[in-house]
């Protein structure tokens, strides 16, 4: 494996809900082979293996966004220089929150869940999240998908057999409160919530939104609406769509194209 070089920026990869740091395994090897130091922080308490988390859902149910954001901020700030930050799904929300704090040399969100203020909810997204939102008691639980629900929400562009294999290796429950509080309630509560960002901030890292054209959980209309919120900022904000990819774009076949586009963009536009 190639050792990190002095010119290659470090990379921080942030996982989303229903996943752990394990979901980035291929990207870690891919980027390290290109000479980058790669850090994949877990949410606090999520450092144990997928199988252990499934057996201890209380850890998941009690997770908090402020604690997670503080932990990720500490990871980023501990590095010798500002890194490229990449986040998938809710990791994309966390990436935007980190950028809002002035962190990172460049940032890429992949199929990002939106921060507060994005009110676009396409039918496929509602169907994807319905298993969590149909029962208010799920606000206090760790809630997972069934294999059938996972195939629709995450991996609809691959076969059911491939989706089930990915489910067995990667899927964990998610904090139901996060889906309720930040996916449903935040836009209707008065005042700024925990996923609010200053979209008009000028002094921030360049930000790229990557979307999958066949993503059911975070469809392109959601991503574009999120990116449009930054239209009054002088900082660079761009979008890019991979038309035939699902929410599972970082794992499904062809993930290398997404990884390379994200890294090339971030490297070209990074603040030095």
Read off the pLDDT of residues 162-208 as tens digits, 9 standing for 90 and up. Answer: 999 999 999 999 999 888 777 655 555 656 778 999 999 999 999 99
Long-range contacts of 156-163 (CB under 8 A, 24+ apart): 156/214, 156/216, 156/246, 156/247, 157/214, 157/244, 157/245, 157/246, 157/248, 157/252, 158/246, 158/248, 158/252, 158/253, 162/252
Is the separation of the CB atoms in 105 and 77 below 8 Å? no
The predicted structure's pLDDT at residue 1: 47
The predicted structure's pLDDT at residue 117: 81
pTM above 0.75, yes or no: yes
The predicted structure's pLDDT at residue 183: 66
For 81-92, letters b (16+ CB in 10 Å) and e give: ebbbbbbbbbbb
Residue corresponding to tokens 């929410």: 247
The predicted structure's pLDDT at residue 3: 53
Which residues in the chain show pLDDT less than 70?
A: 1-6, 183-191
The predicted structure's pLDDT at residue 175: 93
The predicted structure's pLDDT at residue 188: 58
Q: Per this entry, what is the length of the chain?
A: 272
């Amino acid at each position: 494996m190639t050792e990190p070089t002095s010119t290659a920026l470090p990379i921080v990869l942030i996982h989303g809900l229903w996943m752990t740091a394990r979901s980035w395994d291929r990207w870690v090897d891919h980027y390290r082979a290109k000479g980058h130091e790669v850090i994949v922080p877990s949410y606090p308490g999520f450092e144990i293996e997928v199988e252990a988390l499934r057996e201890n859902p209380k850890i998941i149910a009690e997770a908090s966004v402020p604690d997670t954001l503080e932990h990720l901020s500490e990871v980023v700030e501990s590095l010798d220089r500002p890194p490229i930050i990449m986040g998938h799904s809710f990791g994309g929300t966390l990436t935007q929150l980190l950028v809002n704090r002035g962190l990172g040399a460049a940032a890429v969100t992949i199929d990002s869940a939106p921060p507060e203020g994005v009110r676009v909810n396409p039918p496929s997204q509602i169907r994807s999240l319905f298993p969590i939102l149909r029962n208010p008691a799920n606000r206090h639980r760790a809630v997972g998908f069934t294999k059938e629900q996972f195939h629709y929400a995450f991996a609809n562009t691959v076969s059911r057999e491939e989706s089930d294999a990915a489910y067995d290796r990667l899927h964990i429950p998610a904090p139901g409160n996060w889906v309720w509080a930040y996916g449903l309630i935040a836009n209707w509560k008065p005042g700024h919530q925990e996923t609010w960002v200053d979209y008009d901030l000028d002094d921030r890292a360049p930000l790229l939104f990557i979307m999958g054209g066949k993503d059911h959980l975070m469809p392109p209309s959601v991503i574009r609406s999120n990116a449009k919120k930054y239209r009054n900022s002088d900082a660079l904000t761009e979008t890019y769509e991979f038309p035939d990819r699902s929410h599972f774009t970082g794992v499904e076949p062809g993930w290398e194209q997404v990884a390379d586009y994200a890294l090339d963009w971030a490297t070209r536009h990074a603040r030095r």
